[in-house]
């Protein structure tokens, strides 16, 4: 009987000890709830994976435990161009370098042009002014002509200018001449950025198109200095001949052709 009692007490102590042990909790993980490492008791739920979607270089994976699912996506390649390297349309990863332009030299008809993408640089190859073209003329040094001609006596001086103009307009001078006449005028900007009032033609019947076609071209203009225009506040000239360095053409006004 004494032995039995002892046994019962031992069992009782064991049960007591079993019930009152301090759980040694291991934190919950993606797949296991919070668990006592001694008795296996659990509390709560597993956390579940924190999935990060697959990218070109990484498979879908859990940001907490690193578990993966499937394989990385493949790069979706966009082939290299002149200015962009071969690169992935999804992640932008670049492989290698841009191809660089494949330039064809400028010609008289086309500027320097990439044979691959058509990009252009600069202008068409200009023609040189023919030798002797300016021989009878003096260079139109702006500072010399940018004053009143009647004072400096330069009116009628034959000069040449290099530059370009952006548009041509007509000036009705019928009232002055007593018959139907237009003057074509334009503002030429020379290589130093100075502006000259250029009177191109006096013929009402000449197409303005001929001179409009020269807009934006590099021109060498032979002309006669008319004096300083107080109205336009720039030196005025009348065109004798235009050499178009873009086309190599020489344009001559048809002076009073229909008179």
Chain positions contacting Zn ion, by CB under 5 A:
23, 30, 36, 38-39, 41, 49, 56, 62, 64-65, 67, 75, 82, 88, 90-91, 93, 101, 114, 116-117, 119
CB of 19 to Zn ion, least distance (A): 10
CB of 109 to Zn ion, least distance (A): 19
Q: Indicate the residue among 65 and 257 with the shorter CB distance to Zn ion.
A: 65
How open is the CA angle 232-236-240, to the nearest 5 degrees?
Answer: 145
CA–CA dist 229, 217 (Å, integer):
25
Residues 219 and 210 sit within 8 Å (Cβ to Cβ): no
CA–CA dist 119, 108 (Å, integer):
17
CB of 26 to Zn ion, least distance (A): 10
DSSP state of 17: H
Q: Provide Rg for the chain, Cα atoms.
A: 45
Q: Indicate the residue among 25 and 127 with the shorter CB distance to Zn ion.
A: 25
Q: Indicate the residue among 97 and 151 with the shorter CB distance to Zn ion.
A: 97
CA–CA dist 20, 2 (Å, integer):
27
CB of 114 to Zn ion, least distance (A): 3
CA–CA dist 231, 185 (Å, integer):
13
Q: Indicate the residue among 29 and 212 with the shorter CB distance to Zn ion.
A: 29
Q: Indicate the residue among 88 and 221 with the shorter CB distance to Zn ion.
A: 88
CB of 232 to Zn ion, least distance (A): 44
CA–CA dist 21, 217 (Å, integer):
98
At 11 the three-state DSSP class reads helix
Q: Indicate the residue among 95 and 138 with the shorter CB distance to Zn ion.
A: 95
- Give the Å distances, CA to CA, from 249 to 108, 123, 129, 185: 12, 17, 10, 20
Q: How far apart are the first and last CA of the chain?
A: 154
CB of 16 to Zn ion, least distance (A): 15
């Amino acid at each position: 009987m004494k032995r039995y009692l002892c046994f019962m007490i031992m069992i009782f102590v064991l049960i007591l000890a079993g019930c009152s042990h301090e759980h040694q909790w291991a934190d919950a993980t993606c797949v296991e709830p919070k668990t006592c490492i001694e008795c296996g008791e659990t509390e709560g739920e597993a956390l579940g994976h924190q999935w990060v979607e697959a990218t070109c270089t990484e498979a879908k994976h859990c940001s907490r435990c690193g578990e993966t699912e499937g394989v990385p996506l493949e790069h979706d390649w966009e082939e290299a161009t002149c200015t962009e390297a071969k690169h992935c349309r999804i992640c932008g990863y670049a492989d290698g370098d841009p191809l660089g332009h494949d330039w064809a030299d400028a010609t008289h008809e086309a500027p320097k042009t990439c044979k691959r993408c058509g990009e252009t640089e600069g202008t068409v190859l200009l023609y040189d002014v023919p030798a002797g073209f300016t021989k009878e003329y003096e260079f139109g040094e702006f500072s010399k002509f940018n004053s009143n001609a009647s004072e400096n006596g330069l009116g009628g001086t034959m000069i040449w200018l290099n530059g370009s103009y952006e548009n041509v307009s007509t000036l009705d001078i019928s009232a002055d001449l007593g018959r139907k006449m237009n003057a074509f005028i334009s503002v030429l900007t020379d290589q130093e950025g100075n502006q000259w009032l250029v009177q191109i033609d006096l013929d009402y019947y000449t197409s303005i198109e001929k001179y409009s076609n020269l807009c934006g071209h590099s021109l060498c203009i032979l002309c006669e200095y008319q004096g300083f225009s107080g109205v336009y506040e720039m030196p005025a000239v009348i065109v004798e001949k235009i050499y178009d360095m873009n086309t190599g053409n020489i344009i001559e006004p048809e002076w009073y052709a229909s008179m």
